[in-house]
Amino acid sequence: MSSIVRAHSPSEFLALVPHLLGCTPRRSLAIVTFAAGRSLGALRVDLPDTDSGADIDSVASTVIGMACKVSRTDAIAVIVYTDRGLRDAIDLPHRHLVEALVARADICGLRIIDALVVGPDAWNCYLSDAADGPRPLDEIAPDPDLPPLPDVEGDQFAAAALPVLPDGEAAAVHRLLTDAQNLIARSREGKRLPARRRAAATLVLDDLADPPALFEAFVAPDTDPDDRTVAAVAFCLQRPLLRDVALMQWVGDLATGDAAYGAQSAYAAGHPFPHDLARPMWGEGAEPDPPRLLRALERCRHVAAATPRAGRAGPLAACAWLAWATGRSTHAAAYADEALAIEPHHGLADIVRTLSGNGRLPEWVFDREPVTSPAGTGSSRESRDR
């Protein structure tokens, strides 16, 4: 949420909004927040269903309240993305909602930079005279003098789809998971494993001997986790104790993972779990490193895609939490719903769905602070004493 919007007209601004959101929204209300003329980022919510009696004033209060939580915000822009045509409309759709947003923003001391609507056939401005009429969509284009922006593909739901893996990769991960679990269980199948498969599964078990080291290697930049690492992480994400260690470590650092792993082991023995280590789970505390969290999310999506459906609820719940932690509530709810379709009583998935449904986001989404370790120590491997 730190991009600078450089636009000299409403049409150029509209061309930049999808890049702030990371998608081209449909049936959505977008709010771009500003401080001293610079954008702090954007938030998106579903357009309220007026036909079902949605309370427009309540929606406006909630959305403006979220905008006010973004540190240093002094102005906003409102953009409505609708499926309703604009060219033949008597009035612009969702005007009542926009008027409610403008009124609530005024009460909160926020300046309205613009209020725009994009339909399937045109775009327009709520603040302009009706005589101006709708404008053609091909006007929506960035400043040609600026470097070209990367394409933004898909609507707010598209990015939640799991990646399509190369042929054979999911089968390889499934085989490693099954073989490792058979070795742990000392089952008949495990004793009959061919030497090569036994050796490969043993390497997965070796990785599980030090979960924080595994989780740190998993999110290391400029690396692509191999089948062995994917299988080991999938094994951990299927188990709540290890999954929570992974999530807290990805929010923090290796030292945080070590502390969380030790605390989980102590908790299993009857000792209380330290409050400071648990706070990030509820979205409290200093801002994590955004690239690290996004990397963890993308790689967990890969793990979920590689994991057989029967065991996918855990990785999907991890995706849901990481999406929520990065402010992507729509994606978080989609992952949580998919996890609950597999395992109806999955605890973390149910929690994330509730948080997303209630419009709650982590504190760090609104207030950027220096990255710190909840464990109170450094993040390098050399800081460990294990």
Phi, psi torsion values for 271, nearest 5 degrees: -90, 150
Of the listed ranges 147-161, 173-187, 214-228, the one predicted with least confidence: 147-161
Report which secondary-structure segment, H or E, holds 220: none
The average confidence (pLDDT) of the chain is 87
Query: Could you give the percent of the chain with pLDDT greater than 70?
Result: 90
- What letter does residue 39 receive in the DSSP assignment? E
Outline which parts of the chain fall under CATH 3.40.140.10. Answer: 10-131+151-156
pLDDT band (50, 70, 90) for residue 380: very low
CATH architecture of 10-131+151-156: 3-Layer(aba) Sandwich (3.40)
pTM score, two decimals? 0.81
For residue 5, what pLDDT is reported? 45
Report which secondary-structure segment, H or E, holds 283: none
Burial annotation 73-96 (CB, 10 A radius, 16+ → b, else e): bebbbbbbbbebebeebeebbbee
pLDDT at 386 over 60: no
For residue 6, what pLDDT is reported? 61
Closest CA to 74 of 103, 39, 101: 39
Amino acid symbol at 366? F
For residue 8, what pLDDT is reported? 77
Q: Is 321 exposed, middle or buried (0-12, 13-18, 19+ CB in 10 A)?
A: buried
pLDDT band (50, 70, 90) for residue 190: confident
